[in-house]
Amino acid sequence: MTANVVPALEVRNITKQFPGVLANDHISFTLLPGEIHAFLGENGAGKSTLMNILYGLYDPDEGEILINGKLAKIKNPADAIGLGLGMVHQEYALVDTLTVTENIILGTELRKGPVLNAKEASQRVRELSEQYGLAVPPDAIVGDLPVGVQQRVEILKALYRNVNMLILDEPTAVLTPQEADDLFRVMRELADKGKALIFITHKLREVREVADRITVLRRGKVVGDADPKTASEGQLAALMVGRDVVLKVDKTAANPGDVVLKVRNLNLRDDRGLTVLDDVSIDVHAGEVLGIAGVQGNGQTELVEAITGLQALPSGSIELLGKDITNRPPRSITEQGVAYIPEDRKGTGLVLGYSIRDNLVLSTYYKPPFTKGLTFNDPAIDEHAKELIATFDVRTPSATTTAGSLSGGNQQKIIVAREFTRENRLLIASQPTRGIDVGSIEFIHNQIIKQRDAGLAVLLVSAELDEVLALADRVAVMYHGKIVGILPIAEATRERVGLLMAGIQEQANV
């Protein structure tokens, strides 16, 4: 970081006021060519606002942006790209039915007269992908590709437009650990070739792995810069949330009781006839957390949906406390004491257009005390909402605020509050902390352990290995629809579980 290098990007005193919130408060930073600059912050810290200003989606109230030392006016994304600044959003802007090449050249088509010069375009895509180690099949249909590859297409799209700065907004949120590692390799490669990268995340381990420099944002302000080589995860987390967070979950040894959930020989094929569940059998005992580790898409979703009655099963049996619940309707299973945090918070767990109050009774609305005769008992529902908002620390102006206007962490707290306050025997938590801030993660982890200690059987499914290792008492690993190993937590090292997740089996444990 020598003084005589002209920064690729310099931001001075950017301030953005939304009515009622100061989203960015005099933020300044520099971005040098060839560096990966991470921005760390909780949801709502102002990261996205800042990036949207850089990308021309918002106008700043104050401050200036310099690109290569020159004052720049960025009024829209086209200006940004013209100035060499590209962005890969959390949600990809790809057309599923077009090929990789078509997606990349969309809007900048090379023409031969009125006809698309497909050959040359395809050639350029191939060159770029080789140059930066971004392996993509140029002629594949984008919709058929895994998320990790789609992301590479997004990156290529920016590179194709000759950007020399790239903003990656929460790029790992949807990736498997392997895909994330691949991405980090690509990011390094890009940086080595002189591109400047801005990496937005709230995952502590990632920034330490890949970033050259870390800027921590909190409530619209830069609260600190850190060197990834020296800063510990604990220090970074403290900067982010403004207090010391316990990353390790405090818990005592499990005290397992009787079998609560007994799953035997589940088999399932998908529409295309591919095996999704392959003879899955597991037991979950009262008072223990069984963690299911595995790369996403290896049958975890279907297993959980089969247990909760959302997925019909052609064969196998599921028993809850000795009672057969195979293929029972979801409500009957819920009523027998199953709490379920679904993996898709916004699509399944909540009705975003409903108030918090209504979401809190989404699965119990039909019975007393929430009904009185034929109608709802509003005082009871209001009281319930008030109580849960307080107990579960949901940050909201009121119980009638819509769930959709809350942050991810607060949305997840609503689901946890609703599910944990029924009379439960079994708790199924699927990706319970995906994409939420550290403070909420800590809270939800503690709640899960509290449920375990109260004698519930807990089945935890997570794509984040750290989460499984922090919470589970036993770890089961799923690979291609099969349970390829079950390890007690003491034996479940990152390396051993990692091998199993990759499908490399150990004789002794199968």
Partner 1 sequence: MSNEQQAPAETKKNTELQPSKRRFGWLNEAIVPLLAILTAVLIGAVIVFVSIPGNKLPTFDPSIYGSRSDWFFSTLPERLRVTLSAFTGLFSGAFGDWTRPSTIPVAISNTLVESTPYILAGLAVAVTFKAGLFNVGAEGQLLMGALGSVAVAAFMPQWFGVASLPAIIHLPAALLAGVIAGALWGIIPGYLRAKTGAHEVITTIMLNYIALQVMDYLINGVMKDKSATLQRTPFIHENAALPRIISKATDPSLTGGQAYPRLITTTSSTWDLRIHMGIIIAFLMVGFIWWLMNRTPKGFEIKTVGENPEAARYAGMSITGTVVGAMGLSGALAGLAGTSQVIGLEYNLKAVFSSGLGFDSLAIALLAKSNPIAIVPAALFWGALRTGAGAMQVNTGISINLIQIIQALVIMFIAADQIVRWIYRIKQAEGGKITFNRSWGK
Question: Per CB under 8 A, which region of 50-58, 153-161, 345-353, 477-485 contacts partner 1?
Answer: 345-353
Could you tell me if 307 and 263 are in contact, meaning their C-beta atoms sit under 8 angstroms apart?
Answer: yes
Name the residue nearer to partner 1 (CB basis): 406 or 477.
406
Write down the least CB distance from residue 331 to partner 1, Å. Answer: 3
Q: Which of 106, 310, 321, 502 binds partner 1 (CB under 8 A)?
A: 310
Contact between 219 and partner 1 per CB under 8 A: yes
Tokens encoding 18: 């939304």
- In 211-354, alpha helices (H): 233-241, 300-307, 330-335
Distance CA 343, CA 432 (A): 7
> At residue 143, what are phi and psi to the nearest 5 degrees?
-60, -20
Question: Per CB under 8 A, which region of 91-99, 102-110, 149-157, 397-405 contacts partner 1?
Answer: 397-405
Q: Which of 83, 207, 277, 350 binds partner 1 (CB under 8 A)?
A: 350
Q: Which of 2, 4, 252, 375 binds partner 1 (CB under 8 A)?
A: 375
Distance CA 115, CA 104 (A): 17
Contact between 368 and partner 1 per CB under 8 A: no
Question: Which one-letter amino acid corresponds to residue 483?
Answer: I
Residue 350, classed as helix, strand or coil, is coil
Answer left, alpha or beta for residue 220, where phi above 0 means left and psi between -120 and 50 means alpha. left
Burial of 35 (0-12, 13-18, 19+ CB in 10 A): buried
Distance CA 338, CA 422 (A): 9
Site residues for partner 1, 423-442, by CB under 8 A, read 439
Name the residue nearer to partner 1 (CB basis): 213 or 434.
434
Contact between 397 and partner 1 per CB under 8 A: yes
Write down the least CB distance from residue 101 to partner 1, Å. Answer: 27
For residues 466, 467, 469 and 474, what is the CA-based torsion angle, rounded to 10 degrees?
-150
Contact between 379 and partner 1 per CB under 8 A: no
For tokens 């035997």, name the residue.
Answer: 264
Contact between 363 and partner 1 per CB under 8 A: yes
Contact between 405 and partner 1 per CB under 8 A: yes
Instruction: Give the total residue count for the chain.
Output: 510
Write down the least CB distance from residue 181 to partner 1, Å. Answer: 32
Could you tell me if 433 and 467 are in contact, meaning their C-beta atoms sit under 8 angstroms apart?
Answer: yes
CA proximity to 453, closest of 286, 247, 261: 286
Distance CA 199, CA 36 (A): 7
Question: Per CB under 8 A, which region of 51-59, 189-197, 396-404, 447-455 contacts partner 1?
Answer: 396-404
Distance CA 371, CA 444 (A): 29
| DSSP sequence for 394-410 | ---S-TTSBGGGS-HHH
Site string for partner 1, 15-54 (x = CB under 8 A): ---xxxx----------------------x----------
Contact between 401 and partner 1 per CB under 8 A: yes
Q: Which of 144, 365, 369, 450 binds partner 1 (CB under 8 A)?
A: 365
Q: Which of 354, 421, 464, 480 binds partner 1 (CB under 8 A)?
A: 354
Write down the least CB distance from residue 59 to partner 1, Å. Answer: 15
Write down the least CB distance from residue 40 to partner 1, Å. Answer: 16
Write down the least CB distance from residue 196 to partner 1, Å. Answer: 30
Question: Per CB under 8 A, which region of 13-21, 112-120, 187-195, 451-459 contacts partner 1?
Answer: 13-21
Could you tell me if 340 and 431 are in contact, meaning their C-beta atoms sit under 8 angstroms apart?
Answer: no
Name the residue nearer to partner 1 (CB basis): 113 or 397.
397
Write down the least CB distance from residue 67 to partner 1, Å. Answer: 28
Write down the least CB distance from residue 163 to partner 1, Å. Answer: 25
Write down the least CB distance from residue 39 to partner 1, Å. Answer: 19
Write down the least CB distance from residue 318 to partner 1, Å. Answer: 17
Question: Which one-letter amino acid corresponds to residue 199?
Answer: F
Asked, as a colleague might, if the bond just before 19 is cis with ω within 30 of 0, I would say: no
Distance CA 401, CA 76 (A): 32
Question: Which one-letter amino acid corresponds to residue 149?
Answer: V
For residues 391, 397, 398 and 400, what is the CA-based torsion angle, rounded to 10 degrees?
-120
Q: Which of 316, 349, 408, 435 binds partner 1 (CB under 8 A)?
A: 349
Distance CA 506, CA 503 (A): 10
242: Cβ–Cβ under 8 A, 6 or more apart, which residues? 218, 223
Could you tell me if 14 and 28 are in contact, meaning their C-beta atoms sit under 8 angstroms apart?
Answer: yes
Site residues for partner 1, 117-136, by CB under 8 A, read none
Contact between 347 and partner 1 per CB under 8 A: yes
Name the residue nearer to partner 1 (CB basis): 185 or 422.
422
Q: What is the DSSP letter of 99?
A: B
Question: Per CB under 8 A, which region of 98-106, 199-207, 285-293, 332-340 contacts partner 1?
Answer: 332-340
Q: What is the binding site for partner 1 (CB under 8 A)?
A: 18-21, 44, 219, 241-243, 308, 310, 329-332, 334-335, 340, 342, 344, 347-354, 358, 362-363, 365-366, 371, 374-376, 395-397, 401-402, 405-407, 410, 439
